[in-house]
């Protein structure tokens, strides 16, 4: 085993896992609060990638990369959050009192609409964004070179900051308490005066914002994307959420990192064609021995 490959793949896995974690948070929070898998969540991430390209193209070379980066973050995260809020209002809220399957089908509908709309209006071809921040760090390790780009460093730092801020919000603030109360017992929360519809809307908005953070970061990292990335990455992030225990916020982050690390280690040492097979096999194995995921609470039937 070459130590430089190991370190390189660990770094790659950390980067990949961070983005999975950011997107998984949206799945897990929405599931926690209304028990629904938001199948359109991956496509919200995809839209944020297009928004990133749009904002960067509009800014062009007129501003410095750092300014462009900050403007892109603010605009894309803001717009995507509004987008997530609107989808909830239009496609899910009217179905609040319907059987559980109805909003699920609605979510699949939203996902198809977004993919096809973007494909028709933006074209099916790969989109590219120019490299905003070039360069990175390199080290010589045991006869090889380990490299990590500045963008990758930024992915790790920004995703940790975003997760930290979200965790703090949920565990320490009044709004976070209201979210947890609504998750645990929506009827009691309403009796205490919490507008649970508003809390649900906020959770969707936050989830979309976190996906947008991932959208900006990944777009800068890979430099290219198309309309179908929402599906592929969405499935992976959903897997991460289930792996960590759906409904659990730290579970989503740990599930994301675990999935990212195992994918890239498998690619580096075994076979990169089978990395998805390995990732999903890992999921199956965890679910066999711990059906509620790594940090998930077992479902207890409420009486």
Partner 1 sequence: MALLEFRNVCASYGPIAALNDVSIVVETGEIVTLVGANGAGKSTLLMTIFGAPPCSGGKIYFEGQDISTLQTHEVSRLGIAQVPEGRRVFQSMTVEENLYMGTTPIGDRYLKEDLEKVYSLFPRLRDRRLQRSGTMSGGEQQMLAIGRALMMRPKLLLLDEPSLGLAPLIVNQIFSTIKDISKTGTTVFLVEQNANQALKIAHRGYVLVNGRIQLSGTGKELLGNADVRKAYLGE
Distance CA 124, CA 160 (A): 33
Paired residues of 128 in beta bridges:
224
Q: Does 34 bind partner 1 (CB under 8 A)?
A: no
Q: Does 187 bind partner 1 (CB under 8 A)?
A: yes
Question: Tokens 């909003």 belong to which residue?
Answer: 103
Q: Does 298 bind partner 1 (CB under 8 A)?
A: no
Q: Which helix (H) or strand (E) holds 196?
A: helix 196-222
Q: Does 250 bind partner 1 (CB under 8 A)?
A: no
Q: Does 2 bind partner 1 (CB under 8 A)?
A: no
| Closer residue to partner 1 (CB): 57 or 188 | 188
Q: Does 194 bind partner 1 (CB under 8 A)?
A: yes
Report helix angle 3-34 to 249-269, nearest 10: 150
> Is the distance from CB of 227 to CB of 46 less than 8 angstroms?
yes
Q: Tell me the torsion sign for CA atoms 45, 50, 53, 56.
A: negative
Q: Does 288 bind partner 1 (CB under 8 A)?
A: no
By CB under 8 A, the residues from 114 to 133 that bind partner 1 are none
Distance CA 98, CA 32 (A): 18
| Nearest-approach distance from CB 292 to partner 1, in angstroms | 14
Q: Which of 79, 178, 211, 241 binds partner 1 (CB under 8 A)?
A: 178
Q: Does 170 bind partner 1 (CB under 8 A)?
A: no
**Which of 180, 197, 253, 286 is closest to 23 using CA atoms?**
253
| Nearest-approach distance from CB 108 to partner 1, in angstroms | 30
Distance CA 55, CA 214 (A): 16
Burial bucket for residue 301 (CB in 10 Å: 0-12, 13-18, 19+): exposed
Q: Which helix (H) or strand (E) holds 128?
A: strand 127-128
| Part in contact with partner 1 (CB under 8 A); list of ranges 134-142, 158-166, 180-188, 278-286 | 180-188
| Part in contact with partner 1 (CB under 8 A); list of ranges 115-123, 170-178, 219-227, 229-237 | 170-178
Residue 238 CA from chain centroid, whole number? 8
| Closer residue to partner 1 (CB): 168 or 274 | 168
Q: Does 98 bind partner 1 (CB under 8 A)?
A: no
Q: Does 188 bind partner 1 (CB under 8 A)?
A: yes
Q: Does 191 bind partner 1 (CB under 8 A)?
A: yes
Q: Does 97 bind partner 1 (CB under 8 A)?
A: no
| Part in contact with partner 1 (CB under 8 A); list of ranges 63-71, 184-192, 223-231, 261-269 | 184-192
Paired residues of 88 in beta bridges:
none
| Closer residue to partner 1 (CB): 195 or 271 | 195
Residues forming contacts to partner 1 in the complex (CB under 8 A) are 174, 177-178, 180-181, 184-185, 187-196
């Amino acid at each position: 085993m070459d130590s430089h490959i190991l370190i390189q793949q660990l770094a790659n896995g950390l980067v990949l896992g961070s983005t999975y974690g950011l997107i998984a948070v949206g799945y897990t929070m929405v599931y926690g609060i209304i028990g629904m898998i938001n199948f359109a969540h991956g496509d919200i991430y995809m839209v944020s990638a297009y928004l990133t390209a749009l904002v960067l193209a509009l800014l062009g070379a007129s501003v410095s990369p750092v300014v462009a980066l900050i403007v892109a973050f603010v605009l894309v995260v803001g717009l995507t959050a509004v987008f997530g809020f609107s989808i909830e209002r239009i496609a899910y809220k009217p179905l609040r009192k319907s059987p559980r399957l109805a909003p699920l089908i609605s979510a699949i509908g939203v996902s198809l609409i977004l993919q096809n709309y973007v494909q028709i209006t933006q074209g099916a071809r790969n989109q590219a964004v120019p490299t905003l921040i070039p360069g990175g760090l390199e080290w010589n390790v045991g006869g090889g070179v380990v490299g990590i780009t500045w963008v990758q460093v930024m992915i790790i730092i920004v995703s940790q900051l975003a997760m930290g801020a979200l965790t703090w919000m949920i565990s320490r603030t009044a709004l976070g308490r209201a979210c947890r109360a609504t998750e645990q017992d929506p009827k009691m929360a309403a009796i205490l005066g919490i507008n649970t519809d508003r809390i649900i809307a906020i959770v969707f908005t936050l989830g979309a914002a976190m996906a947008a953070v991932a959208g900006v970061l990944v777009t800068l990292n890979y430099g290219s994307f198309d309309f179908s990335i929402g599906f592929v990455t969405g499935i992976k992030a959903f897997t991460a959420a289930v792996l960590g225990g759906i409904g659990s916020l730290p579970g989503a982050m740990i599930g994301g990192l675990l999935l990212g690390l195992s994918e890239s280690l498998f690619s580096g040492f075994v076979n990169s064609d089978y990395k998805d097979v390995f990732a999903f096999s890992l999921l199956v194995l965890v679910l066999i021995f711990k059906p509620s995921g790594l940090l998930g609470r077992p479902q207890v039937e409420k009486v």
